[in-house]
Structure 1
């Protein structure tokens, strides 16, 4: 019996020594294959420069009572910019006081007026397709007030159910081509020449008739600065999204500073972190005791007051301190939030190409739809670039489970194989 114990102990010690030696000198490569996760599709948001029609403006003018001394022509001119009141664009205090007076006389809130003024999202869209399947524009696009203007957003993370719970269902793209992804055809009547006043007409190429496009990582807030892709009447705009996977380690911010953006064919999108968003909300509340309207729509169970029109003056007066986060070092800002990095690279593959050779004539482009509005295609590129580099993982244990790690889930295509080198003695489950 004692001999058996001795043999067992000897074997155990021998195996332990071999194991220690192996740990000190060897590495092993783990091969991971994902066959069930595809790319998350980004959020796509369009923001019309003129989100209201003359017909809606006329209906509102007919039923509103104007203060004594305010000419209807001046009110008609100003009302086109009222959707900017709740955004943090600078508006002079005299105009704000005038608006406060109008709302009081008509027993309305600013939100009531804007909702009456702004057309629903589907009014801008002739048809919507996702992965070559026709979808309901009214169901998939939500009207919101973004940081600088009124917008309609697709696949944004903030939705509210009937119990006012906020959630964001993930929308996956299963195909890779300019005809898959999201294909939007805008209504012709939302572009072109529009009669503004009796003798004032805007041409079809003016900013008044452009629709600005913003493509975001779907995990980020929409309250950031919009990327100025513009689509015009009779034009087709392609935005190709190349997905990049970066190791989410301590040095991730080294990729965040790029001074040569304008010279590159790829335009990096720098995400707006929740940390910075929370900092702006906190600053606004410190100055004005309210939360800006365009930051509040995605908050859950917030008890703080939302800024109304009267607080717009306070937000204007403290504009620089609230929204400009001064950089006090290479990577950190006054809000103490580290710089965030890109996950998506956006590239315009076809820009401002007129439909049908530039004569703005209708053409049978998609599913026999004949409409001269404009087309937007946002789609995922087939190739995946900037994957894990060996130097990223050589000095520490970096085992990633593609089913759990959000940085990978945001960019794992169908059936992609990862080769990751790890110390051989570290357990392979996290």
Structure 2
């Protein structure tokens, strides 16, 4: 357990809170300032004042910008004050770890021992399929095209689904040697669980989206901490024999596009799907990595909308808690585009790839098997949506959430005497404070007018 001297508590600091700024919208009205020495009023245009105001306030973008509201002559109805609150805790970032290498030989031998090899398949071919099966189960790995029939036959002979086959080869217990949380040794299987991402089946820490999908409710069981500093947080040690290049020099495999042997770690919000655009870092043997996390809460205040020039309707510029998604109980930018991706692949192929297993199980949708991969290959470039799309038969429009948490990560490599086959990761909250930033709706309007 951490000593009292190490239990540094964390707080929240709010940078700017301005809920509303009253300003005349009559086109020809002129605004007045008193900047000259003899204090005679100087008439300035609306555009000049807004331009100066935004240059001073928004460019500063920090707590110091507050002083400019008192100096400007734009009437402020509510001005927030800089404040600290004690023990207001932000959720820790989620980590998802995916291997860039085939399953280790020990795991492959266990799985292979439980399989029946089809009569018209050699043992060498069956071992090859067990080795590369997890990689081939992704439509963006073209090397699998030549083995679809063989993989289908192997699974059919053993009455296995594609998901169960991959899960048997990728248990989280193979990756981790030991785990520590807040200075206390923990069972890694309690901290990490199997998860589904665009990269396939992986292992995640503090990831709660899938249980929210299952229950249909936004979970409140996010892992939080009120401690900070490098002696707190999560530490993992990867199995010493896990990050080896290969066990058979005569059977070398082709490395991934990163040309790396190791793991890829994605950092993301606990309620966000791990999509193509997720931030990532390569983890390799012989490294001791320290990563500090700095959460930033971004809020867009009420009134953040625009008027459609054609219909005259008031349209929100952000997605609030009332914004609903078809397949997720909580709105997120990533979740919105994944909802679009799900619609796209169902429209094209009538099934969902294995990385959408939680959605398929929740909504009783068909999971793609090997016979569906020809369709997935043919539509690979159209079934992962990462931006708004408007087509004749398909539309996807996603807004930034009105409130969201971003995680800034700073990583450093420590040079310590560790095994050349070992990898250690330490991840913790960086500071005693985290920042909450409010977007001022009227400021965006002023910015456009100033331009």
Normalised by the shorter chain, which TM-score bucket? 0.5 to 0.7
**1:349 partnered with 2:405:** no
Q: Structure 1 residues 131, 291: CA separation in 2 closer, same or farther (over 3 Å shift)?
A: same
- Aligned 1:344-383 pairs, distance under 5 A: 344-351=406-413, 353-356=414-417, 360-361=418-419, 373-382=422-431
Q: SS where residue 220 of structure 1 aligns?
A: coil
What is the aligned partner in structure 2 of residue 401 from structure 1?
Answer: none
Select 2:292's aligned residue among 225, 233, 240: 240
Select 1:129's aligned residue among 180, 186, 192: 180
What is the aligned partner in structure 1 of residue 133 from structure 2?
Answer: 82
Q: SS where residue 440 of structure 2 aligns?
A: helix
Select 2:207's aligned residue among 143, 156, 161: 156
Superposition RMSD in Å: 3.8
Q: Per-residue deviation at 1:242?
A: 1.8
Unaligned runs of 5+ in 2: 1-73, 307-315, 319-331, 445-451
**1:186 partnered with 2:238:** yes
Q: SS where residue 95 of structure 1 aligns?
A: helix
- Aligned 1:14-413 pairs, distance under 5 A: 27-31=77-81, 34-50=85-101, 52-67=103-118, 70-91=121-142, 92-118=144-170, 120-160=171-211, 165=215, 168=219, 169-196=221-248, 198=250, 200=252, 209-249=261-301, 250=304, 272-297=333-358, 301-325=362-386, 334-338=395-399, 343-351=405-413, 353-356=414-417, 360-361=418-419, 373-382=422-431, 387-388=436-437, 392=440
Q: SS where residue 156 of structure 2 aligns?
A: helix
Preserved contact between residue 244 and residue 344 of structure 1 (Cα < 8 Å)? yes
Q: SS where residue 300 of structure 2 aligns?
A: coil
Q: Per-residue deviation at 1:172?
A: 0.4
Separation (CA, whole Å) in 1 of partners of 2:345 and 2:148: 18
Separation (CA, whole Å) in 2 of partners of 1:38 and 1:277: 29
TM-score (ref. length: structure 2): 0.64
Separation (CA, whole Å) in 1 of partners of 2:93 and 2:168: 30
Q: SS where residue 343 of structure 1 aligns?
A: strand
Q: Structure 1 residues 145, 50: CA separation in 2 closer, same or farther (over 3 Å shift)?
A: farther
Preserved contact between residue 87 and residue 226 of structure 2 (Cα < 8 Å)? no
Residue-pair matches, total? 337
1:139-188 CA-partner distances (Å, limit 9, x unpaired): 12111232113310011113549xx6366421102111122122111121
TM-score (ref. length: structure 1): 0.67
Unaligned runs of 5+ in 1: 1-23, 256-270, 363-371, 397-430
Separation (CA, whole Å) in 2 of partners of 1:239 and 1:297: 30
Q: Per-residue deviation at 1:26?
A: 6.2
1:99-142 CA-partner distances (Å, limit 9, x unpaired): 11222222222223223322x31332122122223222111211
